[in-house]
Amino acid sequence: MADNGAVSLISSLLGPFTTHAVGSEAIGILVNLDLDLESKTNLMQPAKISLMVDMLNEGSIETKISCTKLIERLIEGRDFGSEIVSSLSLLVGLLRLVKDKRHPNGVLAGLGLLKMICSHEPVRNSVVSIGAVRQLVELLPNLNAECLELALYILEILSNLPEGILALKDCPNTIPNMVKLLMKVSESCTQFALSILWAVCKLAPEECASLAVDAGLAAKLLLVIQSGCNPALKQRSAELLKLCSLNYTTTIFISKCKLTRTMQ
């Protein structure tokens, strides 16, 4: 356990007039200490959070990761106010961190906090408004399995918003990227990708279902149906397969279901 006096002293260094050099050192220490409820409440003061957000945007990569992890610890399991996490500066800083492929630890930390933020419903529109949907979709092919699951979770949550599903539909790589992920990484990833594909195809069946079939969706759905995945996943796959088939004659659709398209 950390000494509360030490935590309090280090926390007192964070404020509106703190230099980033001092702030970086303080946060680098705090993120590695056990923080009790009182310490967390103290660190949740607007001036301290504001400094963390500033350093998330402008600090070194180590500082950005430390700020992200500390903010996540502060809001974890709490009924935090939306004013803290709806800060556009915080959201933009997180997206920048997530996009920096040179630092996988930063990508993971950023996605972890973004996932937690998206659990707070009032903030989701803000996440969509800063272009997060397209940016996350474009990142998918380069993410490792752990990051991929986080990114898909976020996109699936955002797909429940009218603005979110529209952003997914309008992103040209949504359908091909989601199709490629079916039956490729994990059952969870397949479930998220399938949910997103279902939402997009339901929104614009004639346009999106055809694009999805051309991307090899029909064959992938057959793989899901024939797999050991959970029954609900198989049922949704069958429903999506039926939806996709409506734009084709039986003969043409059967030809679209050839597994060779997706096994390459």
Q: What is the pLDDT of residue 263?
A: 39
The tens digit of pLDDT for each residue in 221-244 reads: 988 888 888 889 999 999 998 888
The tens digit of pLDDT for each residue in 183-227 reads: 888 999 999 999 999 999 989 888 888 888 888 888 899 888 888
Q: Which of 29-43, 69-83, 113-127, 158-172 is the most confident on average?
A: 158-172
**C-alpha span between 110 and 93 (Å, rounded):** 9
Q: How many CB atoms lie within 10 A of CB 259?
A: 13
Q: What is the pLDDT of residue 200?
A: 94
Residues 6+ apart with CB under 8 A from 1: 34
Residues 64-68, mean pLDDT to the nearest whole number: 96
109: pLDDT strictly greater than 90 = yes
Q: What is the DSSP string of 154-175?
A: HHHHHTTSHHHHHHHHHSTTHH
Q: Domain coordinates of the chain in residue numbers?
A: 1-130, 165-264
Tell the burial category of 252 from Cβ atoms under 10 Å away from its Cβ (0-12, 13-18, 19+).
exposed
* Six-digit token string for 57: 């945007």
**Better-predicted residue by pLDDT, 68 or 85:** 68
pTM for the predicted model, two decimal places: 0.89
Residues 94-111, mean pLDDT to the nearest whole number: 94
Exposure on the CB side of residue 45, measured as CA atoms within 13 A: 12
